[in-house]
Structure 1
Amino acid sequence: MEADTFYPDLIHAIFKQIWTGRFLERERNGGNDATDCEVGAGTSKKNRPTSANANAVKLSCELLRVFVTEAVQRAAAIAEAEGVSKVEATHLERILPQLLLDF
């Protein structure tokens, strides 16, 4: 694992928290939303455990690293063009729409 990337355990924990939240939300709604449709032979999404392949987590870490690096570089370029030596939230706000379209 590279030193300048996100920790796979952290990313996996974030994914698990989101999956758990969505599961609990479906439970509160009575499981009647469109995501609970039948998937295969007697298996619904509600009954399947949610997990992540180790390679998928590593790939997610790399994607996040590239995304954050690109965001910082673009915001720094905007700040430099304005003659400012510090990247501020407004610089990130300005680059975010195009960055999201690029990814």
Structure 2
Amino acid sequence: MEDETFDPDLIHAIFKHVWTKRSLERERNGGNDALDSEQVGAGTSKKNRPTSANAHALKLSCELLRVFIAEAVGRAATIAEAEGVSKIEATHLERILPQLLLDF
């Protein structure tokens, strides 16, 4: 049985939300970001170019999130088990998070 992963449409919607939010923040800041001044092509700034993600990138992002979360839960479960607790709590995740982020 193949491991379940995140829905690519959900991940795409999250990415679009973040892209839209960042675009609005750049507009509010007057477009003075270094990224806005980069030229992408003949007269087209990055600011005016629509942002998108192809299907392979979304599939890869879904798999990366699945692996990241599975690893986080596994490490937190190890800490919880060492403490003699059968339920993972936020403190267990807090303890494993620094090393997990360094590993990924």
> Which bracket does the TM-score occupy, shorter chain normalised?
over 0.9
- State the secondary structure of the residue aligned to 2:47: coil
Name the Cα RMSD after superposition: 1.1
Q: Which amino acid aligns with 1:37?
A: S
State the number of aligned residues. Answer: 102
- State the secondary structure of the residue aligned to 1:99: helix
Query: Aligned residue for 2:7?
Result: 7
- State the secondary structure of the residue aligned to 1:87: coil
Q: Which amino acid aligns with 1:67?
A: F
- State the secondary structure of the residue aligned to 2:12: helix
Deviating beyond 6 angstroms after TM superposition, the runs of 4 or more aligned structure 1 residues are none
Listed as ranges, the matches of 1:13-24 within 5 Å are: 13-24=13-24
Q: Which amino acid aligns with 2:67?
A: V
Offset of residue 92 of structure 1 = 0.2
Q: Which amino acid aligns with 2:35?
A: T
Q: Which runs of 5+ in 2 are unaligned?
A: none
Between 7-16 and 21-30, the greater mean CA deviation after superposition:
21-30
Q: Which runs of 5+ in 1 are unaligned?
A: none
Query: Aligned residue for 1:62?
Result: 63
Identical-residue share of aligned pairs (%)? 82
